[in-house]
Each structure stands twice: as structure tokens, then as C-alpha cells.
Structure 1
Amino acid sequence: MLVHNWREVLKRAWFAVRVRLIPDAAATAKKAWSLRLIELAALTDIILNVVPVVSDYLPWWLTLVLLVGAWIARHLIQKKEPADGDKA
């Protein structure tokens, strides 16, 4: 019974933290191209280092291209929004 109560308390606390950190997480995830490219670069790097057979088909510089694309997506393409600070 006590464990169930703690789980409920932690679940509610985590929900409150998520709402304050990213109020519109679904819309943010749809626009986060830089994050997607960084994840793809990490996956490509892991595949190139773990599976040596794949390195014949994927170039070594693919990870660098994806990271440069992530930088471009973050700084040039994504819409700039002014910092609101605390709206309270």
C-alpha cells in the first residue's frame, strides 16, 4: 500500500515537472529537427563502430554531415522565439 502511494506521488510530481519544463511537448517534438539529426548521427556512429560490415556501405563522414545538418537546423531553420521568462 505504501509503495503504491509513493508511486502515485512520484507520478504526479513528474507530471507537474513536465508541464513546467515543456508546456507543449508534442508541438516541440514535431519542430525539433536538430534533435532528430543528432540522434540519427549518434545511431550512424554506433552502427559504423559496432558493425564493421556496414562501414563498406556507409561513408565515414556521414556522422559529420548529420551533425552539421543539426547545427544548421538549430541555428538557421528553426523559428526563433523570444525568451518569455516567468509568465507568473
Structure 2
Amino acid sequence: MLRTLFSGARDVVARVLIPDAAATTKSAWSLRLIELAALADIILNVVPVVSDYLPWWLTLALLVGAWIARHLIQPKKEAPVADQ
């Protein structure tokens, strides 16, 4: 019961905040890269054994990739005009 309640609430919030939430999540490469950078940073700081295998600059490379994805790859959509 709670699962259907939360699923319905999530759908309502997604429709209100982002009308095309499915298309947005499919093309949100900058968000995915930022999440990967955060995960890599957490892993490098929490698990010191992994720091031998992951380079220290991995977080920086992922964040630069997110910046490139946001500004160059993802098209910027115009906001709809309220009068039309």
C-alpha cells in the first residue's frame, strides 16, 4: 500500500515540477556524471584501500565531464511563454 502511495506521489511531483520528466532523465548526462564524481570521492575518502586503484584526479575529470555535458552536449530548452 505504501509503495503505491509513494509511487503516485512521485508521479504527481514529477508532473508538476518537470512536465517531461522521463525525457529529462534520459538526457541528464551532467547529473549522472556529478553523481559518479560524488560516489568516487566518497569511495576514495572512506575506503583507503581503493585509493591504490582509483586515481586522485578521477573526481575532477568527472566534474569537468559534467560541465562539458551541461554546456556543450545538452541542448538548452526555452521556457514556454505564459501568454501563449
Cα deviation for residue 80 of structure 1 reads 1.6
Q: Give 5+ residue unaligned stretches, structure 2.
A: none
Cα distance in 2 for residues equivalent to 1:14 and 1:59: 37
Give 1:57's aligned residue. Answer: 53
Give 1:84's aligned residue. Answer: 80
Which amino acid in the other structure matches residue 33 of structure 1?
A: W
Cα distance in 2 for residues equivalent to 1:11 and 1:57: 39
Cα deviation for residue 14 of structure 1 reads 6.1
Provide TM-score, normalisation by structure 1: 0.77
Question: CA RMSD, aligned part only?
Answer: 2.4
Give 2:20's aligned residue. Answer: 24
Is residue 72 from structure 1 mapped to residue 72 from structure 2 by the alignment?
no
Cα distance in 2 for residues equivalent to 1:32 and 1:62: 20
Cα deviation for residue 19 of structure 1 reads 1.2
- The count of aligned residue pairs is 81
Which amino acid in the other structure matches residue 77 of structure 1?
A: I
Which amino acid in the other structure matches residue 49 of structure 1?
A: N
Which of these two proteins has the greater Rg computed from alpha carbons? 1
Provide TM-score, normalisation by structure 2: 0.81
Cα distance in 1 for residues equivalent to 2:83 and 2:44: 46
Cα distance in 1 for residues equivalent to 2:29 and 2:7: 29
Q: Cα–Cα, structure 1 residues 52 and 19, in superposed 2: closer, same or farther, change >3 Å?
A: same
Give 1:48's aligned residue. Answer: 44
Q: Give 5+ residue unaligned stretches, structure 1.
A: 1-7
